[in-house]
């Protein structure tokens, strides 16, 4: 018999744990008919509420439910990685606990796997119910990202994905510390089918992503999957050198041929401000990469498990 592992990262999702379980198993009769067993792995990402207790209750009722609890909040990327490592399934799917990823899509996803796809991914075509400012920046991010990175990162892609064991093993082979999952999926490749659906709003609880968290996450994505910002810094440096050289030549000629007195300290102040700004900006870019490298070199574990049931 085959096994389908469902990975559910949870951070303060006590209200959603049971709803998710109910909704999931409402949609799995299809898999039973195909002789595929289903297991659920809740990854409790250091929740401060009763998420772990709720999962333990479910585990007592149904042994297909498993729990991995982190020692603190390590972030969704770490939770996904832990889930992939723990999952024993021949097929693995990742879903959010808030039911924004409809389990009713699972049979259709499985059919594509049967047709020979290695992975079936989903993307939302609308951003209904999201603040417009957030949608705007999200779109910008994807547009820039796809210009500066060779790895394809699909706009609106969700982490809701059904994968074969082969794809899971490839993702696990990427042991980097800074895990930008959307990029990692694109990087491993394989034949992927994209399904689209309308954005569904979160049922209970609230989103764990503030604007600031998303902004930092976008920087993570850029540094993890592109080195173009470093090139931009170098190009800006070269351009400023050329400009400075031309200005030196012009000043000398003016002095020698026309005897202009040296004047204009306001313009000098402006130039100093501009150039030092550009310098700090470029230094910042280098710093971003350096900090990521620093974290990577330390080789700290991506997550720590407190409980594994
Ligand atoms: N999540 C997590 N760790 C975190 C933040 C979020 O495991 O640090 C989980 C969360 O419980 C949910 C999923 O990741 O199951 C998606 O989070 P959320 O719904 O808040 O994000 P959104 O759908 O608003 O993008
Ligand atoms: Mg959500």
d(CA 270, CA 73): 46
Ligand nearest to the CA of 80: 1
Tell the residue nearest (CA) to atom 13 of ligand 1: 96
Q: What are phi and psi of 26, to 5 degrees?
A: -70, -25
- The encoded tokens of residue 229 equal 């910002």
Surrounding ion ligand 2 within 5 Å at CB are: 96, 98, 100, 202
Q: Which of the listed residues 50, 71, 76, 81 should we mutate to test ligand 1's pocket, taking the one with most ligand atoms within 8 A of CB?
A: 76
Q: Measure the CA–CA gap between 109 and 49, rounded to whole angstroms.
A: 33
Q: Are 1 and 37 in contact (CB under 8 A)?
A: yes
- Chain-centroid distance of CA 284 in Å reads 22
Question: Can you tell me the distance from the alpha carbon of 116 to that of 284, in angstroms, rounded to the nearest whole number?
Answer: 45
User: Which atom of ligand 1 lies closest to the CA of 100?
Assistant: 23
CB neighbourhood size of 205 (10 A): 15
Q: What is the CA radius of gyration of the chain?
A: 25
Atom of ligand 1 nearest to the CA of 9: 7
Place of tokens 């070199």: 297
Cβ atoms 124, 37 nearer than 8 A: no
Cα 208 to middle of ligand 2, angstroms: 8
The structure tokens listed for 156 are 């609106």
39 lines ligand 1 (CB under 6 A): no
The ligand that comes nearest to the alpha carbon of residue 208 is: 1
Instruction: Give CA angle at 204 (199, 208), nearest 5°.
Output: 75
Instruction: Please indicate whether residue 77, judged by its CB atom, sits closer than 6 Å to ligand 1.
Output: no
CA distance 212 to 223: 17
Question: What's the rounded Cα separation, in Å, for the pair 159 and 46?
Answer: 20
The contacts of residue 307 (CB under 8 Å, 6+ apart) are 52, 67, 68, 69
Low-confidence residues of the chain: pLDDT under 50: none
Our answer on whether the CB atom of 17 is closer than 6 Å to any ligand 1 atom is no
**Cα angle vertex 199, ends 96, 68, to 5°?**
0
Q: How far apart are CA 86 and CA 6, in angstroms?
A: 11
Rounded Cα–Cα distance for residues 73 and 21 (Å): 22
- CA–centroid distance, residue 76 to ligand 1 (Å): 6
Q: 9-38 burial, b for 16+ CB within 10 Å, e for fewer?
A: bbbbbbbbbeebbebbbeebeebeeeebeb
| DSSP secondary structure code for residue 261 in this structure | P
pTM listed for this prediction = 0.82
Q: So what's the pLDDT on residue 262?
A: 65
Mutate to test the pocket of ligand 1, among 11, 44, 49 (most ligand atoms within 8 A of CB): 11
**Cα 27 to ligand 1 centroid, rounded to whole Å:** 22
């Amino acid at each position: 018999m085959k096994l389908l592992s469902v990975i559910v990262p949870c951070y303060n999702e006590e209200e959603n744990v049971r709803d998710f379980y109910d909704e999931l198993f409402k949609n799995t009769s299809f898999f039973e008919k195909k002789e595929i067993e289903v297991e659920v792995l809740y990854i409790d990402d250091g929740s401060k509420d009763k998420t772990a207790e709720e999962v333990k209750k479910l585990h007592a009722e149904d042994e297909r439910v498993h729990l991995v609890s982190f020692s603190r909040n390590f972030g969704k990327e770490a939770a996904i990685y832990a889930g992939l490592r723990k999952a024993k399934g021949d097929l693995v799917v990742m879903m959010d606990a808030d039911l924004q990823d409809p389990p009713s899509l699972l049979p259709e996803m499985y059919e594509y796997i049967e047709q020979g796809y290695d992975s079936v991914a989903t993307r939302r075509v609308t951003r209904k119910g999201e603040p417009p400012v957030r949608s705007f920046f999200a779109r910008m991010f994807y547009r820039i990202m796809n210009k500066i990175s060779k790895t394809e990162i699909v706009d609106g892609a969700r982490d809701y994905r059904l994968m074969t064991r082969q794809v899971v093993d490839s993702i696990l082979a990427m042991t980097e510390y800074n895990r930008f999952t959307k990029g990692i999926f694109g990087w491993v490749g394989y034949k992927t089918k994209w399904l689209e659906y309308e954005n569904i709003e979160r049922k209970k609880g609230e989103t764990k992503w503030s604007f600031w968290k998303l902004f930092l996450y976008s920087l993570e994505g850029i540094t993890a999957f592109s080195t173009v910002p470093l090139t931009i810094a170098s190009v800006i440096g070269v351009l400023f050198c050329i400009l400075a050289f031309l200005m030196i030549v012009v000043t000398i000629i003016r002095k020698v041929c026309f005897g202009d007195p040296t004047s204009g300290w306001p313009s000098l102040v402006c130039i100093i401000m501009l150039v030092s700004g550009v310098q700090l900006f470029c230094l910042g870019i280098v710093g971003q990469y350096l900090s990521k490298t620093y974290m990577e070199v330390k080789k700290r574990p991506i997550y720590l498990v407190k409980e594994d049931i």
